Homo-oligomer: A and B are copies of this chain.
Amino acid sequence: MKFKFIIIALGVSLSYGICQAQNNPEPIKEDFKPAATNQPGQQFPQVNSQGYARFRIKAPQSDSIRVSLGLGGQGGTRLTKTADGFFTGTTSGAMDEGFHYYHLTIDGGIFNDPGAMNYFGSSRWESGIEIPAKDEDFYANKNVAHGNVQQILFPSKSTNSSRRAYVYTPPGYGKDKRRFPVLYLQHGWGEDETAWSNQGRANLIMDNLIAEGKTKPFIIVMTYGMTNETKWGRMKDFKIDGFQTLLTEELIPYIDANFSTMTTANGRAMAGLSMGGMETHTITLNKPELFDYYALLSGGTYNPSELKDKAKPRLIFISCGSKERPEGVKNAVSALKEAGYNAVSYVSENTGHEFQTWRRSLRELAPLLFK
């Protein structure tokens, strides 16, 4: 299955930011501030208004520190040792807006930046940095009514374990007997069930959309999607069966039994980013009776022949960043429309295979769901 390996390759190469920084002809503005993703009270890393990132790491007896973020082909940003025992350095170009994973290579070993918060990506907790974006207001923590993100532990016979999922419930949930539709939303390769709220800010995106009356309130369920791997982060042997069983026979029934949900296909959507898009693609085709809304975020496309003779979805949403392969997304949606499907494409401007693309995709997707 060639399809999935293309996605995975994209996920790996781009999520490290190798191609993110751009040459910038303007001089660097000295308006650096601590990144929003820093640990409490930490002054570094910093970001400036142009999107440059600056690092400062204490390691008095080290010989070399390199940051994995930076211009393509240069192996990241090499820091310079200063007399006070710190290593400092600035990316040689502006980074793409939004969230990036990174790590340090210290004397040949891989460690996190002690100034930054950690996020689960590449099958480990990595440092993260937020580059301010012109449109960052849509995922800001604002003074609006907030929904909750609930950690649940649900029983799974197929994996003989009690498994974790996160459930976003919108503001007002539980105050009356109202039932809500549900979006099952998957992370990408090397990420887990924490990604969509931590890196993706899915809860804040929803809170803000709901406050502005732009979307119906709905529940979002996020769980771990790499259930059958024998080794963490290894995709070679990935088969969909284990996750499909867990999702459709264990998690969905648990959610419907324990939350106030709509339990029919027209109240259920599935979406995923990157590898989560591959999972969405396969599971919606295998179980079209469960979901009426499908969305692939930088995670491949549907073609009309795959959908033929199956229950017709009410919406197919396909998106990616402009730095990925937007023509593939647009062409696929054209073909789906021609074949009579309600298909919508979205391309995030100036972003690649990273969370800013997926945050924006969720912002565009949510208003189209459950209409």
Quick one: which of A134-154 are within 8 Å of B by CB? 141-143, 146, 148-154
Among B40, B152, B167, contact of A123 (Cβ-Cβ < 8 Å): B40
Does A62 interact with chain B (Cβ within 8 Å)? yes
Does A322 interact with chain B (Cβ within 8 Å)? no
Among B39, B107, B174, B232, contact of A107 (Cβ-Cβ < 8 Å): B107
Q: How far is the CB of A177 from chain B (nearest CB, A)?
A: 11
Contact with B along A299-333 (1 / 0, CB 8 A): 00000000000000000000000000000000000
Contacts of A58 in B (CB 8 A): 108-110
In the bound complex, CA of A123 to CA of B146 (Å): 26
Contacts of A203 in B (CB 8 A): 151
Q: How far is the CB of A330 from chain B (nearest CB, A)?
A: 37
Evaluate contact between B141 and A162: CB separation under 8 angstroms. Answer: yes
Can you name the residue of chain B whose Cβ is closest to the Cβ of A142? B162
9-residue interface stretch from A111-119, A215-223, A334-342, A344-352: A111-119
Majority secondary structure of chain A interface residues (helix, strand, loop or mixed): loop
Does A233 interact with chain B (Cβ within 8 Å)? yes
In the bound complex, CA of A60 to CA of B107 (Å): 6
Contacts of A152 in B (CB 8 A): 146, 148
Does A95 interact with chain B (Cβ within 8 Å)? no
In the bound complex, CA of A155 to CA of B149 (Å): 16
In the bound complex, CA of A146 to CA of B42 (Å): 36
In the bound complex, CA of A104 to CA of B159 (Å): 35
Can you name the residue of chain B whose Cβ is closest to the Cβ of A164? B141
Evaluate contact between B108 and A106: CB separation under 8 angstroms. Answer: no
Contacts of A29 in B (CB 8 A): none
Contacts of A231 in B (CB 8 A): 41
Q: How far is the CB of A142 from chain B (nearest CB, A)?
A: 7
Evaluate contact between A61 and B64: CB separation under 8 angstroms. Answer: yes
Q: How far is the CB of A209 from chain B (nearest CB, A)?
A: 15
A111 and B108 contact, Cβ closer than 8 Å, known pairs A117-B125, A162-B141, A232-B41: no
In the bound complex, CA of A108 to CA of B57 (Å): 11
Q: Could you list some 18 contacts between A and B, CB below 8 A?
A: A39-B124, A41-B231, A41-B233, A58-B109, A60-B107, A60-B109, A61-B63, A61-B108, A62-B106, A62-B108, A106-B109, A106-B111, A111-B114, A112-B114, A117-B125, A142-B162, A150-B150, A174-B174
